[in-house]
Amino acid sequence: MLGNFQQSQLRIAVPGNQKLIRDSLLKPSYLNQWLLPQTLSPDLPDILETGLKFTSSLGIITIEHQVEVADNNYLRMILSQGIDGYHEWLWGDGWVQSRLEGISLLPLNLCQTFSLLKLRNFLQGQNKEQE
């Protein structure tokens, strides 16, 4: 794999309870809304489960994901192709933490920061709809 070894860990405050955050991270119907411009494989199940394999694309870069653990407040995926490494998510009421480590040509810290900000904006919109 070409690229540099990179690691990044970010934790931010987000609006919403643990269930809303979990749904936003484990349900492909929600993921597709806030991950843009990254796109996911079509025909994913309603929820990400342990053992599931799928791809995502960011322009011409494809990333293979294998869900190693999908739980009530934890998601860990092994990544290959565009990123060789792993991505793990932890969350609770009002917070989310993302840890990304791997070899890639992509600027992982920048991509991770952008994704977390998009997730926070998505959750703000979801909270307004629930009010």
pLDDT tens for residues 72-91?
A: 999 999 999 999 999 999 99
Total number of domains in the chain: 1
Which residue did the predictor score with more confidence, 126 or 12? 12
Contacts of 118 (CB under 8 A, 6+ apart): 34, 35, 36
Separation CA 61–CA 5 (nearest Å): 17
pLDDT at 104 over 70: yes
pLDDT tens for residues 24-70?
A: 999 999 999 999 899 999 999 999 999 999 999 988 999 999 999 99
* Enclosing domain of residue 29: 4-130
Burial class (CB in 10 A: 0-12, 13-18, 19+), 96: buried
CATH number, domain with residue 26? 3.30.530.20
Separation CA 131–CA 124 (nearest Å): 11
CB atoms within 10 A of CB 101: 17
pLDDT at 120 over 70: yes
Average pLDDT, the chain: 94
